[in-house]
Amino acid sequence: MGVLVCFHAHPDDEVFITGGVIRQASDAGHRVVLVTATDGALGEVPDGLLAPGESLARRRLAELEASAAALGVHRVVPLHYRDSGMAGTDDNTHPDAFCNVDVEVAAGRLAEVLTAENADVVTIYDENGGYGHPDHIQVHRVGVRATELAGVERVYEAAVNRDHMKRMIAANPAWSDGAQPPDVDALGLPEDQITTVVDVTGHVEAKRAAMVAHATQVGDFGPFLELPGKLLAAAFGTEWFRRRGVPDGTSESALAL
């Protein structure tokens, strides 16, 4: 059996675009390791949710462990870098922010995990980090370099299918009636750059359980938690990747574990 390592920027990022393949790989008997770059300390949190004296970083680490359990992760490795905050905020300039750390140093730390685990497959993000978040972009840079250092050849960039999103928007009556649809032109990757389309409809309830685990991030997950199974599967039953180093037009239906 193989070893899958998923490298993400913040606690909760693991759910949306890799939660299904994580659960799928675990159920198939593969070892799954989840590495997070930052503590997520700059995320938003509902008023009154944290206990007196409880830090958001500590709560989000506990939520990450619960999410990982729901997804069948065997090991969680937080790197504990400082959250860089959303693009364009003052937090981006902090010298300790993950977006500003030395790529070689951070890649060396990740490469140690990959080597110790004898990783077969690693997931990272595309060069724009999916949507331009500084920490996500740094995950791409660090992940690419770490896999080079560790000699991992099967590297997948987890991404949103931009054209699929556009089709969903076009089919939504609320937007076709004149409401302003979301701008997705800079989101994810165009369909012709995606090499790997994975059907994870059998694992959407595990993804829902992982969403529930991230209680501080209910602003991100709240609209989806009550969706009936068929709608949840339509929204989250497919995960897309671009496999690095393969020719254009390559088509896979699973990660090459």
Torsion angle, alpha carbons of 90, 95, 97, 103, to 10: 130
pLDDT tier at 180 (50, 70, 90 boundaries)?
A: low
pLDDT in tens, 221-244: 666 777 777 877 887 899 999 999
- In 68-161, the DSSP E strands lie at 75-81, 121-125, 154-159
pLDDT in tens, 21-51: 999 999 999 999 999 999 999 988 888 889 8
- In the chain, the DSSP E strands lie at 3-8, 31-38, 75-81, 121-125, 154-159, 196-199, 238-243
Residue 106 pLDDT > 60: yes
What fold characterizes domain 3-243? Answer: Rossmann fold (3.40.50)
Residue 122 pLDDT > 60: yes
pLDDT tier at 251 (50, 70, 90 boundaries)?
A: very high
The pLDDT of residue 229 is: 76
Token readout for 142 is 């660090």
256 to 43, 77, 215, 217: CA distances (angstroms):
33, 23, 33, 31
For the chain, the structural domain boundaries read 3-243
